[in-house]
Amino acid sequence: MPDPIVFSGGNDGAWRVTRQTAIKGNGVAGVDRLTKGGQPIAGATWVLSGVPSNLRYTNAAEKRVLDATPSVLGRPAATRAALIPIAKSAAWWALAQDERRVVLEDKSRHIAIGSDYLSAVSRQLVHCRDQPGAVFDFLTWFEFPPADEGRFDELLAKLRATPEWGFVEREVELRLEKVS
Amino acid sequence: MPDPIVFSGGNDGAWRVTRQTAIKGNGVAGVDRLTKGGQPIAGATWVLSGVPSNLRYTNAAEKRVLDATPSVLGRPAATRAALIPIAKSAAWWALAQDERRVVLEDKSRHIAIGSDYLSAVSRQLVHCRDQPGAVFDFLTWFEFPPADEGRFDELLAKLRATPEWGFVEREVELRLEKVS
């Protein structure tokens, strides 16, 4: 079984928080630095963790595109990042699988939109919904070179304008730059 | 977020273990009694836990059938039960969503077969795959009256004969009777 992916927010860490925004619903306590990976940092202001998991909506044809453009984390040039924890509504989770797929892809083009940015933006989807006590469903993580921050902004704007985002009831955004 | 569902196996509990079988792969330590629910029992031989979660494969039409026959746990007549923890293979989890659906329903009729037994067999699907350290993907729980044990055996036999079960790499079965 995969190891948990841990995000510790506080005064220490290789990522400096340049902007922290409560996009929807409650934010999280303000922090200066973020550590990604390893064990929870003692004395952290908050710790969010989850696990990588299987694909939930991606079909075989879409998976071939993803597999052909693997997301490489830790690229030396990717000195900007974003952590965006998200919780969707009870109404979303009460939908049947095919109904969620219709909203996510047929109506919102989530996978198609994301595919357009694979080469610029590395991403990792961390699942925490099925962990007792979790307050978010997903912790989404993105890394990109400074020159691609505009592309990343564009990706976020497109996704947030979709019908799928109508089901997002809590979303927090931390923008980060690498300091070590 | 839903509370965890905890199964504690040991010397105490309202369910007596009448048979414990390693169907595939390693079993779990033999126990006499099982407690379902509440906090982990101190001194238990083992504790397995997970959470209820959203539907993963069921489409809207199939969900209408499920919703029309809700699974009621704790029926007084349902004095027999089974706990069947299951882990599927890495090959299963590496499939795209549509590929898993094809195996699960188009080829294996998992949802259709299950629907035939809804009135006799109450069931609860507990997810643990996305919890760090989990050794099973699911903890499946079934309750039925003694007179319906044959129907339950039939359900298990049908499911285990499906292509989907070729992806099950660990399966343990505990048969139980209520003692209090």
Distance of CA A128 to the CA centre of its chain: 11
Give pLDDT, residue B133.
Answer: 84
Which tens digit of pLDDT belongs to each residue from B50-88? Answer: 999 999 999 999 999 999 988 999 999 999 999 999 999
Is B99 close to A60, i.e. CB distance below 8 A?
Answer: yes
Among B74, B61, B71, CA closest to B125: B71
Whether the CB-CB separation of B141 and B122 falls below 8 Å is answered with no
- The number of distinct structural domains making up chain A is 1
Strand pairing class (B5-10; B46-50): antiparallel
Which of B64, B86, B98 is best to mutate for the A interface (most A CBs within 10 A)? B98
Residue indicated by tokens 């959203």: B54
Domain that holds residue B9: 5-178
Is A55 close to B3, i.e. CB distance below 8 A?
Answer: no
B83's tokens? 């706990």
Residue of B nearest to A2 (CA): B132
The fraction of chain A above a pLDDT of 90, given in percent, is 93
The reply to whether B3 touches chain A by the CB within 8 Å rule is yes
Which tens digit of pLDDT belongs to each residue from B21-31? Answer: 999 999 999 99
For residue A58, being part of any structural domain is answered with yes
Q: Is B109 exposed, middle or buried (0-12, 13-18, 19+ CB in 10 A)?
A: middle
Please state the pTM of the whole predicted model: 0.92
Nearest by CB to A96, from B58, B128, B129: name it.
B58
Residues of B in contact with A132 (CB under 8 A): 1, 3-4, 49, 51, 131
Q: Give, in degrees to the nearest 5, the angle at Cα B135 between B103 and B142.
A: 65
Give pLDDT, residue B29.
Answer: 98
Residue type, A161: A
Q: Is B37 exposed, middle or buried (0-12, 13-18, 19+ CB in 10 A)?
A: middle
Average pLDDT of chain A is: 96
Instruction: List Cα–Cα distances, B44 to B2, B29, B32, B85, in angstroms.
Output: 23, 11, 11, 17
Query: Nearest CA of chain A to the CA of B149: how many Å?
Result: 30
For residue A85, being part of any structural domain is answered with yes
Could you say which residues from 28 to 57 on chain A have a Cβ atom under 8 Å away from some Cβ of chain B?
A: 49-51, 53-57
Q: What are residue B80's phi and psi, to 5 degrees?
A: -115, 150
Whether the CB-CB separation of A83 and A135 falls below 8 Å is answered with no
pLDDT band for position A156 (cuts 50, 70, 90): very high
A159's tokens? 């996704």
B11's tokens? 């010397």
Q: What is the rounded distance in angstroms from the CA atom of residue A169 to the CA atom of residue A86?
A: 8
Contacts across the A-B interface (CB distance below 8 Å): 78
Which tens digit of pLDDT belongs to each residue from B111-140? Answer: 999 999 999 999 999 999 999 889 999 999
Instruction: List Cα–Cα distances, A77 to A148, A172, B11, in angstroms.
Output: 10, 25, 58
Which tens digit of pLDDT belongs to each residue from A95-133? Answer: 999 999 999 999 999 999 999 999 999 999 999 999 988
The reply to whether A75 touches chain B by the CB within 8 Å rule is no
Query: Nearest CA of chain B to the CA of A18: how many Å?
Result: 30
Is A130 close to B133, i.e. CB distance below 8 A?
Answer: no
Question: Rg for chain A (alpha carbons), in Å?
Answer: 16
Is A131 close to B132, i.e. CB distance below 8 A?
Answer: yes
Give pLDDT, residue B10.
Answer: 98
Residues of B in contact with A55 (CB under 8 A): 96-97
For residue A37, being part of any structural domain is answered with no
**DSSP H or E run through B148:** none
Whether the CB-CB separation of B52 and B127 falls below 8 Å is answered with yes
Residue B39: which CATH number?
3.30.70.3420
Among A103, A96, A61, A59, CA closest to B100: A59
The fraction of chain B above a pLDDT of 70, given in percent, is 99
Residue indicated by tokens 């509370």: B3
Is B97 close to A134, i.e. CB distance below 8 A?
Answer: no
Give helix then strand counts, H and E, for chain A: 5, 8
Whether the CB-CB separation of A9 and A45 falls below 8 Å is answered with yes
Residue of B nearest to A93 (CA): B54
Higher pLDDT, B41 or B1: B41
Residues of B in contact with A139 (CB under 8 A): none
Give pLDDT, residue A1.
Answer: 65
Strand pairing class (B80-88; B138-144): antiparallel
Residue of A nearest to B53 (CA): A130
For residue A26, being part of any structural domain is answered with no
Characterise A72 by phi-psi region: left (phi > 0), alpha (psi -120 to 50), beta (else). beta
